A = this chain, B = another copy of it.
């Protein structure tokens, strides 16, 4: 979007007839001015589905255990927040959720686990890769203090791995960390119909805006307060207010304890993962169209 800003400014100041319209897309959902971004709904659907499946997997054991799932999101916790969606179907999944919007307190994290272990053995925790300590350091960077590995190099540890080591060291219970990694942004086999439909609409909207003569704008989703369910309209907004801003998860979507998502947050997320796009399968795998 910064490039849209620069290009449109350059074209305007050089009387060059070029219209530049930004079409948003990011699984991170952190662009300003738009209600959400294309790609996010499908990634959120994968994260929510995976959390629900992990709940089934970890639930078969009876020894005290913690499974920590690291979700993408360096600056904003949108995708990690979507891990809370299984609660819509009555699932206890996950038990704890930590977003980068709130300072991460390791002692609080450990006491959250200890408290929940009194009620359940099989805890499931979702954390954003970008959670930070009170001193501003990334939790995932803590392992950079570690010394060299067998090949003579510093091991790279992710946020989940660091927390896994912390739980093992301090609580001594069974613990595993899972990094959802690239699949969360490319698992097209479980895309959201809402997301795919809106992605086409926003592209069309961008072409229409350019044809009408607009430039230096980004196409945005505006959620409509229709009362009878979810709907969006597409509008162009001035790119200068969007280009380098990050839209984080608002306070009202995060619970007071900073370890979960509120009903208001679930209300925002739910329609974005709605509907299915069944891929065409060949040889037992989804068929991809390769250009």
- A17-25, A180-188, A201-209, A244-252: which lies at the interface: A180-188
Q: Which residue of B lies closest to A275 (CB)?
A: B284
Is A242 an interface residue, CB under 8 A from the partner?
no
Which of A53, A67, A86, A151 has the largest count of B CB atoms less than 10 A from its CB?
A151
Answer whether residue A32 sits at the interface, using C-beta atoms and an 8 A cutoff.
no
- Cβ of A165 to closest chain B Cβ, rounded Å: 5
- Whether A150 contacts B178 by the Cβ 8 Å rule is no
**Bound-complex Cα distance A48 to B157 (A):** 27
Counting CB contacts under 8 A, is A14 at the interface? no
Q: Contact check: which of B54, B148, B285, B287 meets A48 at CB < 8 Å?
A: B285
Interface residues on A, range: 35 or more
Are A89's CB and B287's CB within 8 A? yes
Find chain B residues with CB under 8 A from A147 CB.
146-148
* Closest residue of B by beta carbon distance from A281: B276
In angstroms, Cα B90 to Cα A285, docked, is: 12
Q: Most chain-B Cβ atoms within 10 A of its Cβ — which of A48, A270, A285?
A: A285
Interface string of A184-200 (1 = CB under 8 A from B): 01111110100000000
**A residues 145-190 in Cβ contact with B at 8 Å:** 145-153, 155-157, 161-162, 164-166, 168-169, 176, 178-183, 185-190
Beyond the given pairs A54-B183, A143-B149, A146-B147, 7 more chain A to chain B contacts, judged by CB atoms under 8 angstroms and listed by A's residue number, are A54-B182, A142-B151, A143-B150, A145-B149, A146-B146, A146-B155, A156-B161
